[in-house]
Amino acid sequence: MNRIQPLGASTPTAFPDPGTALADPNGLLAFGGDLSPQRLLAAYSRGIFPWYSEGDPLLWWSPDPRCVFATDGVHVSHSFAKFLRKCAWQWSMDRAFDEVMHACAGPRKGDPGTWITRDMLTAYTHLHLLGHAHSLEIWDGDALVGGIYGIVVGRMFSAESMFSHRTNASKVALVALAQTLRARGFPWIDAQVPNPHLLRMGARTLPRRQFLSDLARLAAQPAPRDWPRTRTPF
């Protein structure tokens, strides 16, 4: 029987084999450790991510199957395509990382809680300053109306969360992100855990073994340095 394993403080890059993760709850692999840059980057390069609530132990996950978007496979419905053609919003990257994370951590309709804890906000902002975490913002004039953020390891983007303060703003962020990543040689956006909304947007699921094989190949490639940083008409 598989058991979740504790992480040692002295070995921040050591993780159990994701194949030993629990089936129920799906993907629970380990507990403890910290959110240092070394540990986080080691985790993402192995298909592992932290997910826990404020006040709970730090938990690490690698679910099976894995939810992904092909960067050329985000579904754009007829009505959404019509919306995009008329949309005057603009997008940027890495102009408002802190604001995007805080917006993603805010309360949502029917769900006042959040898994983006204060420690997560601090840790991922640190990764952003080190060049490993990125945000894409959607602007209506000077108003930030939507966005998405995640971690880059090689040519894999692991999307952590997105938010929308206007109808369709998070969808616009996902489409803009997919186009940007596709142009830079990213085949996948890791969306981690499937849900009906993601599947309607074109997400698919991969067996964990296949995902980890693709990840190992993509993580070994150099991450791009030419992220667009200025507001760009959509």
Q: What is the mean pLDDT of residues 2-15?
A: 85
Q: Which residue has the tokens 């996948």?
A: 188
Q: Which residue has the tokens 């995640």?
A: 150
Q: How far apart are CA 182 and CA 200, in angstroms?
A: 20
In this prediction, residue 229 carries a pLDDT of 81
pLDDT tens digits, one per residue of 51-79: 998 888 999 999 999 999 999 999 999 99
In this prediction, residue 1 carries a pLDDT of 56
Q: Which residues pair with 188 in a beta bridge?
A: 70
Q: Which residues pair with 233 in a beta bridge?
A: 90
**Confidence tier at 232 by pLDDT (50, 70, 90):** confident
All domains of the chain, ordered by start, with CATH?
5-63 (3.30.70.3550), 67-233 (3.40.630.70)
H-helix or E-strand containing 205? strand 204-206
| pLDDT of 39 strictly over 90 | yes
Q: Which residues pair with 95 in a beta bridge?
A: none
pTM assigned to the model: 0.94
pLDDT tens digits, one per residue of 140-159: 999 999 999 999 999 999 99
Q: Which residue has the tokens 């949309």?
A: 87
pLDDT tens digits, one per residue of 88-131: 999 999 999 999 999 999 876 655 557 899 999 999 999 999 99
Tell me whether the omega of the peptide bond preceding residue 25 falls within 30 degrees of 0, making it cis: yes
pLDDT tens digits, one per residue of 12-27: 899 999 999 999 999 9
| pLDDT of 230 strictly over 60 | yes
In this prediction, residue 5 carries a pLDDT of 86
